[in-house]
Structure 1
Amino acid sequence: MRYYPAALALSLFAAVTASAGLGATGEPDPRAARLIEEGRVALDAGDTQGAVDAFEAALAVDPGYTPTYLELARAARKEGLQGKAIHYYREALKQDPANFSALSGEGAALVEKGAIEKARRNLTKLQSLCGESCSETRTLATSIETGPTQTVVTAEAVKPEVVITQN
């Protein structure tokens, strides 16, 4: 019983230091950094599949590096795969819940899918975390103002052309 306070303090110290090191991104593995750079070059050149391959290889080399998820999400959005991009943004947010780029990117992908209310929730989080003057906040606010870029086509909007043929 007399060791209880010392044991409690020691276990609390171990728990705090372990959890603090878990969320730190730090510098990527040099091989992963090289692969990420290759992916960025490929994505800028329009080779999205080559970029995704490089980013996934970087993720295999260094799975704890959050910016890799952000690059994968950017590539997915460029391919028009907003759902996949949202998945990658959420993976980045699991590692770093206050990542402004991930919050803004997820909100923009939600806008592109048409989920404006969910995007507004991200905007509210960004405003509380980094304020109105933050570039990510302004970018997401602009995306919400412009609305979704893809138009949804309903069955009523598409009228088939009637063609009558004689036998």
Structure 2
Amino acid sequence: MVDGLETANPRWKELLMRFAPAAAALSLLFAVTASVSQAGDREPDPRAAILIAEGRAALTAGQPQKATDSFEAALAVDPAFTPIYLDLAEASRREGLQGKAISYYRETLKRDPDNFAAMSGEGAALVEKGAVEKARLNLTRLESLCGSNCPETRKLATAIARGPQPRVLTAEAVMPEAVVTQN
């Protein structure tokens, strides 16, 4: 009886050793695929959704600072909801804070590397800042991922064609220092 178990046992071990790595790899692949496909499709927390709606309304009304406040509050409520960063970036761009907008776009890309809106927005902010060559890299990547007819690609291509906009200076920025001289 013992001899029968010993001869059956090596077969079992051989089968286990032969197929276990493949089964583990497939299981891991299915788990990662399922989690990635669920990550981008989730809805924000209901409280965050209300704050996001308020922020978008403020942005539409031309109040980027109020919009930023609402988006930051929404981010505090639901820090895992990545699209908030796109809204924060848009509000920052409207305030003329392209550097801050670029950091929000990069945070979005860190969380979702193939986010076309973030690539396009970052490229447009780079153009506004004067970094046209870096923006062209974003355009090349967008064209390779979604093609030249993709709305994000067309939007970035238009921004690059328009080029960096001249800065508007205020009177205080060009006023000379007041110097008192004695006669």
Larger helix percent: 2
Question: Distance between the aligned counterparts of 1:74 and 1:5, measured in 2?
Answer: 53
After the TM superposition, which parts of structure 1 deviate over 6 Å for at least 4 consecutive aligned residues? 163-166
Identify which of 25, 46, 57 aligns with 1:12. Answer: 25
Partner of 2:113: 97
Instruction: Look up the match of 1:138.
Output: 154
User: In structure 1, what is the equivalent of residue 123 of structure 2?
Assistant: 107
Cα gap change, 1:19/1:87 in structure 2, threshold over 3 Å: closer, same or farther?
Answer: farther
State TM-score, norm by structure 1: 0.83
- Residue number in structure 1 paired with 2:132: 116
3-state SS in 2 of match to 1:80: coil
Partner in structure 1 of residue 89 of structure 2: 73
Which structure has the bigger radius of gyration? 2
Quickly say closer, same or farther: Cα 1:7–1:110, change in 2 above 3 A.
same
Which deviates more from structure 2 when the two are superposed, residues 128-137 or residues 54-63?
54-63
**Structure 2 length normalisation: TM-score?**
0.76
- The residue identity in structure 1 corresponding to 2:90 is R
Identity of matched residues, %:
63
Question: Structure 1 residues 25, 60: CA separation in 2 closer, same or farther (over 3 Å shift)?
Answer: farther
Q: Quick one: distance in 1 between partners of 2:75 and 2:17?
A: 43
* Alpha-carbon distance, 1:146 to partner: 0.9
**CA drift at 1:35:** 1.2
How far apart are the structure 2 equivalents of 1:152 and 1:47? Answer: 19
CA distance in 2, matches of 1:151, 1:53: 26
Partner Cα separation in structure 2 for residue 10 and residue 57 of structure 1:
44
Q: Equivalent of 2:71, from 47, 55, 59?
A: 55
* Distance across 2 between alignment mates of 1:110 and 1:128: 19
Deviations 1:40-61 (A, max 9, x none): 0111122222211211122222
Q: What is the count of residue pairs matched by the alignment?
A: 163
**Cα RMSD, aligned residues only:** 2.7
Larger RCO, structures 1/2 (Cα 8 Å, 6+ apart): 1
Contact 1:104 1:122 survives alignment (8 Å): yes
Query: What is the distance in 2 between the residues matched to 1:5 and 1:64?
Result: 40
CA distance in 2, matches of 1:109, 1:119: 8
How far apart, CA to CA, are the structure 1 residues paired with 2:51 and 2:18?
49
The separation in 2 between residues aligned to 1:152 and 1:106, in whole angstroms, is: 21
Residue 63 of structure 1 and its aligned partner are, at CA, apart by 2.1
Contact 1:25 1:64 in 2 (8 A): no
Q: Identify unmatched segments of 5+ residues in structure 2.
A: 1-12
Partners of 2:54 and 2:29 in 1: how far apart?
A: 37
